[in-house]
């Protein structure tokens, strides 16, 4: 599986699932139109764009372009690349009928089409010797810090997300990705100590 340096932004969880079977990368969902009202999510994406760069990969329908254009206005152009999938008509296997415009979304694309779209966008494909700096984090680390698997973990996680100015609905796997990109164990332990949680 090929690795990509940039953070890839997709519309939803099914897009993320499909793409994660094609490339190894940090993949963030916009929750569709939810991105329009989530100031903290935009702030978070700006931070990721500055650190790694973003690749926007939305569906080729009108809704996908609304989201794409919104992000174009919210994030500096030089920190963002645009990946486009072709207009292919049909319906995704999980759906009972095709979407409003009858086009397949990211989740309905083949691996070859997705890789081609990323290449054409200028994605930075990495080999094992040029991986981006990543800090070593595992779910067991979150458990030891009381951020996972314990009675108060949910509350503690929300407090940490708020302190780090991250979206409150960030899942555990996404939190691990963010810790790997931005934080050492020492930095998070210091933050927990300062918060006295």
Do 123 and 169 belong to one domain? no
Do 159 and 113 belong to one domain? no
**Residue 33 vs residue 169, higher pLDDT:** 33
Pairing of β 54-56 and β 80-82: parallel
Mean pLDDT of 2-21: 95
pLDDT in tens, 99-109: 889 899 999 99
Rounded CA-CA distance 152/9 in Å is 31
Do 122 and 145 belong to one domain? no
- Residue 132's pLDDT band (cuts 50, 70, 90): low
Sign of CA dihedral 121, 125, 130, 134: positive
Strand order in the sheet with 2-4: 23-24, 2-4, 125-126
**Residue 76 vs residue 136, higher pLDDT:** 76
What CATH code is carried by the domain that includes residue 53? 3.40.1360.10
pLDDT greater than 60 at residue 131:
no
Determine which of 109-113, 157-161, 162-166 has the lowest per-residue pLDDT on average.
Answer: 162-166
Do 150 and 120 belong to one domain? no
Percent of the chain with pLDDT over 90: 63
Among 130, 159, 182, the domain boundary falls at 130
Do 154 and 119 belong to one domain? no
**Residue 132 vs residue 95, higher pLDDT:** 95
Among 93, 109, 130, the domain boundary falls at 130
- Residue 173's pLDDT band (cuts 50, 70, 90): confident
Which residue segment(s) compose the domain that 156 sits in?
Answer: 139-195
Do 186 and 115 belong to one domain? no
Do 53 and 76 belong to one domain? yes
DSSP H or E segment with residue 54: strand 54-56
pLDDT in tens, 24-68: 999 999 988 989 998 889 999 999 999 999 999 999 999 999 999
Phi and psi, residue 125, nearest 5°: -85, 130
**Is 103 in contact with 61 (CB distance < 8 Å)?**
yes
Do 48 and 110 belong to one domain? yes
Do 9 and 53 belong to one domain? yes
Do 146 and 185 belong to one domain? yes
Q: Output the pLDDT for position 31.
A: 87
Do 27 and 119 belong to one domain? yes
Residues in the chain: 197
Do 19 and 72 belong to one domain? yes
Q: Output the pLDDT for position 48.
A: 94
Residue 22 to residues 15, 121, 176, Cα–Cα distance (Å): 11, 16, 20
Domain count, the chain: 2
- Name which of 46, 47, 60 is nearest 15 in CA terms: 60
pLDDT in tens, 81-120: 999 999 888 988 888 888 889 899 999 999 999 999 999 9
What is this structure's pTM? 0.79
Among 130, 160, 182, the domain boundary falls at 130
Mean pLDDT of 12-22: 95
pLDDT greater than 80 at residue 17:
yes
Structure tokens belonging to residue 83: 């990946």
């Amino acid at each position: 599986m090929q690795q990509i340096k940039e953070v890839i932004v997709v519309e939803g969880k099914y897009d993320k699932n499909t793409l994660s079977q094609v490339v190894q990368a940090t993949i963030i969902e916009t929750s569709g139109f939810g991105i329009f009202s989530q100031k903290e999510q935009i702030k978070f994406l700006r931070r990721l764009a500055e650190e790694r760069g973003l690749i926007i990969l939305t569906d080729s329908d009108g809704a996908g372009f609304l989201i794409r254009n919104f992000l174009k206005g919210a994030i500096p152009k030089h920190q963002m690349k645009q990946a486009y999938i072709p207009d292919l008509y049909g319906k995704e296997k999980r759906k009972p009928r095709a979407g409003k415009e009858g086009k397949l979304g990211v989740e309905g694309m083949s691996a070859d089409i997705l890789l081609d779209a990323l290449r054409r966008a200028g994605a930075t494909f990495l080999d094992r010797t040029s991986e981006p700096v990543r800090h070593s984090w595992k779910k067991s680390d979150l458990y030891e810090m009381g951020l996972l698997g314990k009675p108060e973990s949910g509350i503690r996680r929300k407090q940490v997300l708020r302190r780090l100015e991250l979206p409150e609905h960030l899942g555990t796997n996404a939190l691990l990705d963010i810790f790997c990109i931005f934080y050492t164990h020492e930095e998070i332990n210091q933050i927990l100590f300062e918060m006295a949680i």
